[in-house]
Structure 1
Amino acid sequence: MWFLCEPGYVPDFNDLTLLPFCAGLTLLGLIASWAAWRRRGLASGVRGVAWSLLPVSLYMTGLLELLWDVVKSVTSWVTHLIFSPTVWAGVALFGVSVVLYVVSGVARTRRGDAPEKVAKPKQVSDAIGELTASGPPAASAKPTKQAKPAKAPKAGKSQESSEFDEIEDILKRHGIN
């Protein structure tokens, strides 16, 4: 039994010990289900029977052996990962490569070797009236308001006339005058 103390030891799947173990779990579950049915009612008893039948059903379908193999493989992998200096050396090299990649990117941008930025496409307001390879701008593209020099109020007109002038300008731009 000294081999049980070795790291990474997982016993093999054994039909002779697993079948009686599953049958015992099912029998204990059925007894507990009967007791739950008597105390808490039909729903608790039926739920207990459902859980009680799982160990034998897993054994009979072969899923218990599959589950055992998965647990055994994961345990072996984890112990190999933890106790292997080769794996830790590989993890360290991976970390060094990531750090070097990041440092090279920082050094590249500081030195000015960064790739040139792609020119931004023209905005709709810049492209109005311009024919491009894709054709004229879409009908939904509305021109933005062009900056016009502000009109200086005339000395003889009041505030009301300047408001009317603004309204008149707006109507002219929309073709209503």
Structure 2
Amino acid sequence: MIAETVCSAVAAAGLGIAAVTAYRKRYLTAARMAAYALVPLGLVLTGVVEWLADTAFSPTAWLGFGLLGGAWALLMTTRAVERRRGGTRKERKAAARAARGEAGAPAASAPSLGQARPTARPAAAPRATATDDFSDIEAILKKHGI
């Protein structure tokens, strides 16, 4: 009830501003303003505003939105885990069969298990001692005459 009144008032105000704009001989702008002003009135007359107001204050609707959000989060989580593992279960089985050399497994289309995981880093070189670091710095400073 209140939403319909507010939308009607917004439409009336917008049409009034459009009329003033048309009076100033800016017809294209006035027509555009009138079109925007008629949108809330059209939403009221079609019943969309009432439906939105009923939905916004309905605990059942909010529960439904929560369930939809939870389902979406569950789907995205499973996709992320699947990508991390290296494909679907079917693709992993086909890759394992191809690695063993069994017939009937398309070796070129299925990714192998090792491809999806990052390779291990090589062992890091031992750290330089503090005297090595300072000798490099001294050489640079001598080069620049400092």
TM bucket (normalised to shorter chain) is: 0.3 to 0.5
Please identify the structure whose Cα radius of gyration is greater. Answer: 1
Give the TM-score taking structure 1 as reference length: 0.40
Give the TM-score taking structure 2 as reference length: 0.47
Higher helix fraction: Structure 1 or Structure 2?
Answer: 2
